[in-house]
Amino acid sequence: MTDWGARAAALLGELAEFSGPGPGVTRLPFTPEHRAALDLLSALMQRAGLMVTLDDAGTLVGRLEGEPGRGTLMMGSHQDSVREGGAYDGILGVVLPILALEKLRAEGVAVPVSVEVLAFADEEGVRFPTALVGSRALAGTVDPAVLNMEDAGGTSLRNAMTGFGLSPDRIGALKRNRQDVIGFIETHIEQGPVLERETEALGVVSAICGIERHRIALTGEMGHAGTLPMEGRRDALVGAAAIITEVNRIANATPDLRATVGALAIEPNVVNAVPRAARLTAEFRSSHDETRRTAGDHLHAFARQVADDIGLGLDCERTYQQPVQPCSPDLLKRLVNAVKQAGGKGLVLPSGATHDASAMADLCPVAMLFVRCRDGVSHKPEEYAAPKDLGRAVEALAAVLESMTWA
């Protein structure tokens, strides 16, 4: 008898070796580490009986043909990591469905629908200032302008993809016909403490949170720290500090809202000068769109008031927004039943992080299976999911695939 959890853990450990220097896992898209991961995943897909191709967005696709006219169920996640991240985020959602198909093949169980396992190239958006290109390509929502975006070394996304053997200008042809796609199921570590607190190995996602980001630039006047009187100072950092404090306050005062100021830069950034400029970002996430939008509107109004009070110039822009993506009731029900078959309660919870599933929702119904992670840790070398939990996830995914007889 194959111990599928132990096998999954061993494979994830092997894939973690395909990493750039430093602690944890650093696997960026269109790099030698990416290529090595694709080679191993291709071999795994072939062992499970899948036909393997690499599309022009860099997505590795393993396809199992089902009965004609029954449609295609897609499963998968991303292969890339953040810098010095963990061995489970993303890549777990590629390995586990492959093993579920391998398990069914070993047991002589035929899946009636066609199945595709997808390993997307870039979900994290670490190397280039864009993300979800692979999933957006399938959904037909990718913006060709992102191909001109450059990494820190000045390499454009287009050139990186071309150097990887792809034809990025043909990405538009990757759009799938939504009539042919049953749905997309993504498996992911929870990245939070709920499953561990509930002593549950697996959970099913109800919805993927909405998210919006804001860029704020404040312009004041530089002055000598010792000679410029306090009265009348136009200190850009004082304005930024007030805004940061308000972002934290509103999140603590508003149910189902999470807010983060993740970047802050000041000029001239010296010990003896009043800062003349400050730039910061603010991000809001919520499983209710109205809550998120209200927070963003409040931020802009508050920033304007702070700027007026101190005498600062203000440039405040909402740079990104993504609505809440509810999961498919049908796929959610199948996952809940499968989790119960694997010995769990079928706990349902929202996702506070965004995923490839949120982009795939523009193509087809989506669902997500969460796997418990120790201490809720993610995007760190300490990221960990127990082999026993991985095994239960393989069982649940196999049960979902079997359930497609009544798709």
Per-position pLDDT tens, the chain of length 407: 899 999 999 999 999 999 999 999 999 999 999 999 999 999 999 999 999 999 999 999 999 999 999 999 999 999 999 999 999 999 999 999 999 999 999 999 999 999 999 999 999 999 998 889 999 999 999 999 999 999 999 999 999 999 999 999 999 999 999 999 999 999 999 999 999 999 999 999 999 999 999 999 999 999 999 999 999 999 999 999 999 999 999 999 999 999 999 999 999 999 999 999 999 999 999 989 999 999 999 999 999 999 999 999 999 999 888 889 999 999 999 999 999 999 999 999 989 887 999 999 999 999 999 999 999 999 999 999 999 999 999 999 999 999 997 66
Instruction: Please indicate if the annotation marks 213 as binding a ligand.
Output: yes
Backbone angles phi, psi at 67, to 5 degrees: -70, 140
Q: What is the pLDDT of residue 202?
A: 98
Within 10 Å of residue 173's Cβ, how many Cβ atoms?
10
Within 10 Å of residue 103's Cβ, how many Cβ atoms?
20
pTM comes to: 0.85
Q: Identify which of 364, 389, 359 has the alpha carbon closest to the alpha carbon of residue 190.
A: 389
Instruction: Please indicate if the annotation marks 78 as binding a ligand.
Output: yes
DSSP string computed for 230-277? STT---HHHHHHHHHHHHHHHHHHSTT-EEE---EEEES--TTEE-SE
Q: Identify which of 28, 126, 25, 34 has the alpha carbon closest to the alpha carbon of residue 85.
A: 25
Instruction: Please indicate if the annotation marks 89 as binding a ligand.
Output: yes
Instruction: Please indicate if the annotation marks 272 as binding a ligand.
Output: yes
- The CA-atom distances, in angstroms, between 320 and each of 130, 217, 246, 281, 285 are 11, 16, 20, 11, 12
Q: What three-state secondary structure class fits 208?
A: strand
Integer Cα distance of 245 and 361 in angstroms: 35
Within 10 Å of residue 150's Cβ, how many Cβ atoms?
15
Q: What is the pLDDT of residue 129?
A: 85
Instruction: Please indicate if the annotation marks 188 as binding a ligand.
Output: yes
Four-CA torsion 241, 245, 250, 256, nearest 10 degrees: 110
Within 10 Å of residue 323's Cβ, how many Cβ atoms?
15
Domains of the chain: 4-209+324-406 (3.40.630.10), 210-322 (3.30.70.360)
Q: What is the pLDDT of residue 406?
A: 66
**Position 379: which residue type?**
H
Instruction: Please indicate if the annotation marks 379 as binding a ligand.
Output: yes
Q: Which residue has the tokens 């393997």?
A: 52
